[in-house]
C-alpha cells in the first residue's frame, strides 16, 4: 500500500527540501499550485520562504480560499518559518495588505531574530518528538508572540520565545527541520494524516502532478 499523499505548496520557498524529506519517509509528495491538486492530497506543507510573496501568489493562483477551507475541514497542515506565519490568525507586523490562511490561534512576529545575516542554528528540547534535542535552523525566523489557550507550545528558545506550536491538526515551527535532516516534525504531520477522519471518507481526486 502506498504512503499518504502529502502536498507541498509550491508557489515560492524551499519546496524541494520538503519533498525530499517526505520521500524518505515513504510518503507521496505532490506539488500543489492549483485547487484540484490540493483536493488530491491528505495533508499539506506550507514551506519557508517569503510569507508576503506566498500570500500574494496564493491569491493570484486562486489558492487562498481552498486552503482556508481545507484547514477548516480538518486537513493536517505543517508550516515552517513563513508557513507558520501563514497559519497564524494574527500577524503583528505584516506588510500593508498582508493576509494569512489562518486557523491557528496565535500571533506571530516576522523576522523576530533579525535579517539573513543573523541566521543561526541551535539545539532545542522538544519532548513531543522525543528525548533527543532537535537541531534547529533559524533563517529570518518569526516567533509566536502570543498563543491562545488551545495552542500547545512545543518548543522555546533561550529567553522563553515560542518557536514551535500545535493546535489540533495544525503544526508550525519557526525553524527549518527540513534543512537540518531532522524528520520528526514531518513524522508528526504524517501521524496526524493517518488518524485524520477525512481519510476514511470518499477517495480524493487523482491525477495531480507528482514531485
Residue 106 lies in a domain: yes
Query: Within a domain: residue 164?
Result: yes
Q: Containing H/E element for 123? A: strand 120-124
Summarize pLDDT for 66-115 with one digit per residue, the tens. 999 999 999 999 999 999 999 999 999 989 999 999 999 999 999 898 87
**Residue 170, domain member (yes or no):** yes
Which of these is catalytic: 152, 178, 186, 187?
Answer: 178
Considering the candidates 18, 28, 37, 81, report the single residue annotated as catalytic: 81
CA–CA dist 49, 160 (Å, integer): 25
Would you say residue 17 lies in a domain? yes
Q: Is residue 188 part of a domain?
A: yes
Buried b (16+ CB within 10 A) or exposed e, 18-37: bbebbeebebbbbbbbebeb
- Is 81 designated active site? yes
Choose the catalytic residue: 158, 176, 186, 187.
176
Question: Which domain range does residue 65 map to?
Answer: 5-200
Number of domains in the chain: 1
Residue 16: which pLDDT band, with cuts at 50, 70 and 90? very high
Question: Is 209 contained in some domain?
Answer: no
User: For residue 131, is pLDDT > 70?
Assistant: yes
Has 158 been annotated as catalytic? no
> Is residue 23 assigned to a domain?
yes
All cell numbers assigned to 111 = 523576522
- Looking at residue 167, its pLDDT comes to 98
Q: Is 176 a catalytic residue?
A: yes
184 within domain boundaries: yes
Q: What is the pTM of this model?
A: 0.91
Residues above pLDDT 90, as percent of the chain:
84
CATH number of the CATH domain containing 44:
3.40.50.880
Amino acid at each position: 500500500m502506498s504512503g499518504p499523499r502529502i502536498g507541498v505548496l509550491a508557489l515560492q520557498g524551499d519546496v524541494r527540501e520538503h519533498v525530499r524529506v517526505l520521500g524518505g519517509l515513504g510518503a507521496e509528495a505532490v506539488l500543489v499550485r492549483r485547487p484540484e491538486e490540493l483536493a488530491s492530497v491528505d495533508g499539506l506543507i506550507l514551506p519557508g520562504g517569503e510569507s508576503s510573496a506566498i500570500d500574494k501568489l496564493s491569491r493570484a493562483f486562486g489558492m487562498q480560499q481552498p486552503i482556508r477551507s481545507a484547514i477548516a475541514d480538518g486537513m493536517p497542515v505543517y508550516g515552517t518559518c513563513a508557513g507558520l506565519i501563514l497559519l497564524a490568525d494574527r500577524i503583528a507586523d505584516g506588510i500593508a495588505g498582508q493576509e494569512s490562511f489562518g486557523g491557528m490561534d496565535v500571533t506571530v512576529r516576522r523576522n523576530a531574530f533579525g535579517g539573513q545575516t543573523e541566521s543561526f542554528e541551535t539545539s532545542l528540547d522538544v519532548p513531543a518528538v522525543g528525548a533527543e534535542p532537535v537541531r534547529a535552523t533559524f533563517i529570518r525566523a518569526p516567533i509566536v508572540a502570543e498563543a491562545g489557550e488551545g495552542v500547545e507550545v512545543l518548543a522555546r528558545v533561550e529567553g522563553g520565545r515560542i518557536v514551535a506550536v500545535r493546535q489540533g491538526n495544525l503544526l508550525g515551527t519557526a525553524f527549518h527541520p527540513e534543512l537540518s535532516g531532522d524528520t520528526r516534525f514531518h513524522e508528526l504531520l504524517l501521524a496526524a494524516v493517518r488518524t485524520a477522519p477525512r481519510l476514511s471518507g470518499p477517495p480524493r481526486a487523482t491525477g495531480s502532478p507528482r514531485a
